[in-house]
Structure 1
Amino acid sequence: MRKDFDPSLLSSRNFYRLLTAVVVPRPIAWVSSTSAEGVDNLAPHSFFTVASVSPPIVQFTSVGEKDTLRNIRARGEFVVNLAPAGLMPEVNATGTNFPSDVSEFDAAGLTREAGRTVGVPRVVESPAALECRLHTVLPIGDCVVVFGEVTYAVVDSSILDGSHPRIDLLAPLARLGLDEWGTLGSVDELKRIRKDDWPGDFRPTDRSSDGSDP
């Protein structure tokens, strides 16, 4: 039996909590930006993904009008830093609603590193960063989707296998529902099946009676 949830009958806040509990895990865009007054901002945004391959564009959503959004509109650039599991307390701290004249870099004890193609600092402690130039700002309901064209990327050489970032060493954080956070956990490899290789007798993998993998 399932329980029904009708967004027209619930407060937006309650339905938001449901959405963020079932759309999981969500990668975190740890976005650094700089205000028109020169204050460096750093904040986590968990509505984040890739929007385009060519040109390379990433997107994140600002839920409401926040310093990050105002700064990006003012300067037209930002950096998405990877949020690693080892910095969970710092990532969480940068989500505090400090006044706009307070830099989260300083409040959370994080180190600035100059960007290569943007005038916004990267987080030294983050293993990877994407420098972005503002592409599009798209208001949707009470949120704003920010699209940024990636102009430069850096990855710590210690987590690379050749030129490929190792997911176990990246150790990305994810947001779940309520105050829950997720880490990588186990990683499985499964190649996509090409049409020419599709088996005629394909069947889903059997599951044991308790719902776990055999």
Structure 2
Amino acid sequence: MFYTTDTNEHGMRHDPFKAIVAPRPIGWIGTKGSDGSRNLSPYSFFNIVSDHPKIVMFSSSGRKHSLKNAEETGEFTASLVSRPLVDKMNASSAPVDYGVDEFALSGLTHKMGSLVDAPFVEEAYAALECRVTQILQPQTLDGGEAESFMVFGQVVAIHISEAIISDGRIDMERARPVARMGYMDYCDGGADVFQLRRPGA
């Protein structure tokens, strides 16, 4: 099969693009509005973009609540979605009105950051506290703008539960991070953990 993306004529029942770029880690983004409301939403367009300094990014398709809050306050958190929390993560993705507290909606406990004024999931095995460094709207080949907004945040603090630490490192089989595949498919990142060493020159 071959097709060009200007026509997107793949002939399949569903667009396969996001199934090719998979698995995608989920950033469970916690923010606090300037009005004091709490927001929690999962984003599968999320990843690390820098290690020195530590910077992560989540991308909002359209102007969603997490983007609004991050713009207004300059802060957000990213909690780890593990397999035991996947149903609550899914509940927090409901398209509710601005100001509805998804922590309460999904039966989760919010905990405020130590350095940022944004909530994270207390039940999560790990969480990142971030301060916004920039927000970009990607450009397209024709000089237009994509319908997405990339929010970059420098990680200023990290929370890790002792429950997933073993022998001086995070045990991924215990952490069981959940990732988004294509369509409605997800995977358990702790189910088949193996190691590879990079070759020398």
TM-score under structure 2 normalisation?
A: 0.91
Regions of 4+ moved over 3 Å: none
Aligned equivalents of 2:151, 2:15: Cα separation in 1? 22
Give 1:17 shift. Answer: 3.3
Q: Which residue of 1 aligns with 2:172?
A: 167
Q: Which residue of 2 aligns with 1:201?
A: none
Cα RMSD for the two superposed structures:
1.6
Structure 2: which 5+ runs fail to align?
Answer: 139-145
Residues in 1 aligned to 2:76 and 2:167: alpha-carbon distance in whole angstroms: 27
Looking at structure 1, the residues matched to 161 and 188 of structure 2 have their Cα atoms a distance apart, in angstroms, of 19
Cα shift readout 1:71-120 (whole Å, capped 9, x = no counterpart): 00000000000011111111111111100020100100100112110111
Task: Structure 1: state its 5+ residue gaps.
Answer: 196-214
Supply the AA of the counterpart residue of 1:55: P
The alignment status of 1:112 with 2:110, answered yes or no, reads yes
Within the candidate set 193, 198, 201, 1:187 is matched to 193
Q: Does structure 2 conserve the Cα–Cα contact (< 8 Å) formed by 1:17 and 1:177?
A: no
Cα distance, 1:162 vs structure 2? 4.4
Instruction: Deviation per CA, 1:148-188: give whole Å up to 9, x if none.
Output: 00000010011112442111111000111111111122111
Counterpart-to-counterpart distance in 2, 1:101 and 1:147: 23
Q: Deviations 1:174-205 (Å, cap 9, x if unpaired)?
A: 1111111111221111111111xxxxxxxxxx
Amino acid at match of 1:186: D
Task: State the match for 2:43 in structure 1.
Answer: 45
Q: Which amino acid aligns with 2:52?
A: S
CA distance in 2, matches of 1:53, 1:152: 14
Q: Pick from 132, 136, 139: which aligns with 2:137?
A: 139
Residue among 174, 181, 188 paired with 1:176:
181
Larger Rg: 1
